Amino acid sequence: MLKEKIKSDLESAIKEKKTVDVSVLRMLLASILNKEKEKRFKLSQKPDLNEKKLEEESQLNQEETLSVVFSETKKRKESIESFEKGARADLVEKEKQELEVLKKYLPEQISDEEISKMAKEAIGKLGAKEMKDMGGVIKEIMSQVKGRADGSRVSQIVKELLGND
């Protein structure tokens, strides 16, 4: 399970005094815990759940944990962009280091060529011809890639393909 791997990596990072890793993994575990609390609150509204069942069901599954990791990587990428615009090289470097730590917990990313191939198939399947069809194509691709590709990369490739027709 991904959460256990993160916990064990945090323990190792603490022992090895890797300060960046420690802070990123602590933040990541806090984000996961917050998501679990949200899920628990929603589940607690159901009257038929006892305490033990509530505790079990409020744990995040692999996919939900992965979505927290994605959310955190997206935050880092946005921060890097903002800090680059603000000419804050020190903060850009810090965010890049944090992003590298987070990338270890993401599934292997698929290539642009693979995304392009999937996009062409989706465009053909959906009969997409114009930019207004872009949302459906992206939705189709994102359901297939399940976290192995960044939404902005998919969007860019679909935009290029639909724009060229």
Long-range residue pairs from 74-78, CB within 8 A, at least 24 positions apart, any chain: 76/102
Q: Within this chain, do residues 52 and 116 fall inside the same structural domain, yes or no?
A: no
CATH code at position 56 = 1.10.1510.10
Same domain, 21 and 91: yes
10 plus 84 within the same structural domain:
yes
39 and 96, same domain (yes or no): yes
DSSP H helices in 104-150 = 112-126, 134-145
pLDDT the model gives residue 95: 94
Alpha-carbon Rg for the chain, nearest whole angstrom, is 19
The predicted structure's pLDDT at residue 164: 64
pLDDT score at 61: 87
Residues 96 and 124 in one domain: no
Residue that terminates a domain, selected from 103, 122, 146: 103
Residue 82: phi and psi, rounded to 5, are -60, -45
pLDDT at position 109 is: 82
DSSP 2-62: HHHHHHHHHHHHHHTT-HHHHHHHHHHHHHHHHHHHHHHHHHHTSTT--HHHHHHHTS--H
Give the span between the Cα atoms of 87 and 114, in whole angstroms.
34
Query: In this structure, are 15 and 91 located in the same domain?
Result: yes
Can you give the pLDDT of all 165 residues of the chain as single tens digits?
889 999 999 999 999 999 999 999 999 999 999 999 999 888 888 777 778 888 888 888 888 898 899 889 989 999 999 999 999 999 999 999 999 999 999 888 888 888 888 888 888 888 878 888 888 888 888 888 877 787 788 888 888 888 765
Same domain for 51 and 13, yes or no, is yes
Domain containing residue 98: 2-103
pLDDT at 111: 84
Do 7 and 59 belong to one domain?
yes
The domain tally of the chain equals: 2
Q: What is the pLDDT of residue 27?
A: 96
pTM score, two decimals? 0.74
Q: Do 84 and 30 sit in the same domain of this protein?
A: yes
The residue length of the chain stands at 165
